[in-house]
Structure 1
C-alpha cells in the first residue's frame, strides 16, 4: 500500500509523462497547461487507493486514474467558460489565455484523451470500466445542467439540491472509486460498496463546503467567505432558511437578494442563519451522509488495515479548518 503523498507523486509523474501531439499547438497546449496546474489530485488518488484495497499495484490502475483526472480537468475548462471565471488555481483560466473557442475544443479533445487512457486497460476489465466511466461522465454533465437551471429558479427544494450536488460533485468521486475497484478485479458487490461510499462522502464534502463558505476562516479556507451569499447561490443553508423563516424574517431574507452592499448582505443573512440554527442543521445533514458513507466502506471485503489511508484522506478532507 502506498501513502497518499506517494500516490500524489506517482500521479504527478504520470501526468508529466503524457505526450500530446505538437500540432495544432493551440489545441494541445491548453491541455498540458491545465493538467499541470496542480491540485491535490483527490479523485485519482481515491481511485488508486480503491484499487490497492484488493492487492492491486497502483501502477496497473494508473491509466484509469489519468482518465479520471483528464475528464475532471476537461469539466473545469468548460465550467470556467460557463462561469466566466478569470482564474483557476491562481492562474489564468484556459479561455482567458487561449480564447473561448479554443478552450471549448481543447476540452472536447480531453474527453477523447480520457477514453484513450481507458482503452489501455486490460481487456478483461475494459467493458465494465468503460461503462462505469461513461455513466459517471454523463452524471456530472447532468449535475452541471441542473446547477445552471437552479440559478433561474426560486422554488428549488432541498431534495433537488442534494440530487444536484450528488450528480455534479459526488458521482465523480464515486465513479473514480468504483473504477479503481473494477480495474483491480474486485467483486461487483465490493465495487458498488465503494461507489456508495464515494457518493455519500462526496455529498458530505459539498455540504461542508457550503458551511465553510459562510462560517469558514478565509485565511484557512482559501476562498472569499460569503461568496455564496453574495451570489444568492441556492445552497443547503439558504434553502433550509427559506423553509424555516417566517414573517418579517422571510421578508428580510428576500430583500437581501438584490442588496449590493455585500458586507451588509453577508452580515444580515449570516445573522438569520445563526438565529435559526442553520449551521447545526447543515452539520447534522452532513454527518448523516458521512455515516452512510463509512457504513458502506465497512462492508468492503478488504482488511481493515488496508482502509487506513482511505479513511485518513476522507477525514482530512471533511475536517478542513473552519
Structure 2
C-alpha cells in the first residue's frame, strides 16, 4: 500500500501542476473544479502499476497517467450533463455550479488537455500509446451512444448491455493498464493479458456500480441513490427484472417505467422492491463475481513474478469489495 500511496501522491502532484491560461477563467475554472472533486485515481494508478510491474520506471508513465485521469474526468463531466446528475462525489456537478453550455465547453478543453499529456509519452512508445488512447477514446464515445439509444428501447438484451458497459467503462481500465505495460516494456502477449485483466475488472466494477446505485449507502457511494431507476436506465438489473416479472409485478413495473409524473422516492422504493422479488440484485452480484474471476485469471497468465502482480491483486480486491 505504500507503493500505491507514492503513486497517488505523484499523480496528485502532477495534476496540481497543470498549467491553465489566465483567461478566460470561465473556461478553466470548471476544469479545476472537476479535477478537485477527487476520486480514487484508479486509472492513472493502474497505468503506473502496470509500468513498474514490467520493470519500468513509473515516472516514465506519469504523463500518460495524468492524461488518462483528465480524460476520465472529462467523460464524467459530460456524462453528468447528459444524465442531468446533480451530485458527483458528494458535491454539485459542474453544470449545476455553472450551466450546461459551460460544462460542455470546459469538458472539451479537458479532452484537449488530456491528449496533450498523452502525446508527451517518450519515444519509442509515443505512437503506440497515442494510437491506443485514441482507439479507447472513440470506443468510449460508442459506449455512450449505445447508452443513450438504450434509453429509447424496451428490447435491450443482456448481451447488448454488457457490450455497452465494456465500451463505456471497461476499455478505459484495460487501456490504462496496457498503456502502462507498453511504456514499461511488456511483450505484446503480456500487454494483451493485462488489457484483458483491466477489461474484466471494468465490467465487474460497472456492474457493481449499477448495484450500488440501487442498494448502496449514499454517504459512501458519493452520489444520490436511485438515479438509474429514475432515469429508466437499462441496467443489468432492469433488463433481468423485465424478463422475470409476471402478473401484477409486470404491470407495476411497466406503469413505473411509463410514468411521466411521480414522487421520486416512491418510484425508487417500488422498483427496488420489484428487483428484490425477482432477485435482480443477486443476479447482478453473481455477474460481478464472474467478471472478477476472469480478471484474476488474466492476471495470473502474465509472465512476471507473482510478487510483482500483488499490487494489482490488491487494487482489484479493493475496487470490487466497496460495499458488499
* Matched positions, count: 322
1:278 pairs with one of 276, 280, 289: 280
Q: Secondary structure at the match of 1:305?
A: helix
Summarize the Cα distance change of 1:287–1:132 in structure 2 as closer, same or farther, 3 Å threshold.
same
Q: Residue 101 of structure 2 aligns with which residue?
A: 101
Distance 1:144-1:3 versus aligned 2 partners, 3 A rule: same
User: What's the CA shift for 1:280?
Assistant: 2.3
* Deviation of 1:234 (Å): 1.5
Structure 2 length normalisation: TM-score?
A: 0.92
Pair 18,271 (structure 1): closer, same or farther in 2 beyond 3 Å? closer
Q: Larger deviation: 58-67 or 23-32?
A: 23-32
Equivalent residue, structure 1, for 2:26: 26
Return the alpha-carbon distance in structure 2 between the equivalents of residues 92 and 247 of structure 1: 41
Equivalent position SS for 1:301: coil
Q: How many angstroms apart in 2 are the aligned matches of 1:52 and 1:2?
A: 14
Map 1:44-59 → 2, pairs under 5 A: 44-59=44-59
Q: CA deviation at 1:297?
A: 0.7
Q: Distance in 2 between matches of 1:87 and 1:277?
A: 29
- The aligned residue for residue 153 of structure 1 is 153
Secondary structure of 1:3's aligned partner: helix
The structural deviation recorded for 1:300 is: 1.0
Q: 2:243: which partner in 1?
A: 243
Post-superposition Cα deviations, 1:282-306, rounded to whole Å, max 9, x if no partner, equal 2222211111111111111121111
Report deviation, 1:256.
2.3
Deviates more, 1:102-111 or 1:191-200: 102-111
Q: Counterparts in 2 of 1:57-96, with a 5 A limit? A: 57-96=57-96
**Separation in 2, partners of 1:67, 1:238:** 34
Shift of 1:146: 1.1
Q: Does 1:303 align with 2:305?
A: yes
Partner Cα distance (1:68, 1:57) in 2: 18
**Cα distance change on mapping 1:273 and 1:80 into 2, 3 Å:** closer
User: Which whole-Å CA distance do the structure 1 matches of 2:12 and 2:114 have between them?
Assistant: 16
Structure 2 contact 182–191 (Cα < 8 Å) conserved:
yes
**Partner residue of 1:318?**
320
Instruction: Provide the residue aligned with 1:221 in structure 2.
Output: 221
2:122 paired residue number: 122
The farther-off stretch of 107-116 and 267-276 is 267-276
Structure 1 residues 105 and 263, CA, compared in 2 at 3 Å: closer, same or farther? closer
After TM superposition, the score normalised by the length of structure 1 is 0.93
1:221 to 1:67, Cα distance in 2 relative to 1, 3 A = closer
Deviates more, 1:31-40 or 1:124-133: 31-40
Is 173-182 or 2-11 further displaced after alignment?
A: 2-11
**CA drift at 1:316:** 1.0
**Contiguous gaps of at least 5 residues in structure 1:** none
Instruction: Kindly report the root-mean-square deviation, in angstroms, between the aligned alpha carbons of the 2 structures.
Output: 2.0
Q: Deviations over 1:150-195 (max 9, x none)?
A: 1111111111111111111111111111111111121111111111
- Asked whether the 8 Å contact 1:15–1:36 carries over to 2, the reply is no
Task: Give 1:219 deviation, angstroms.
Answer: 4.1
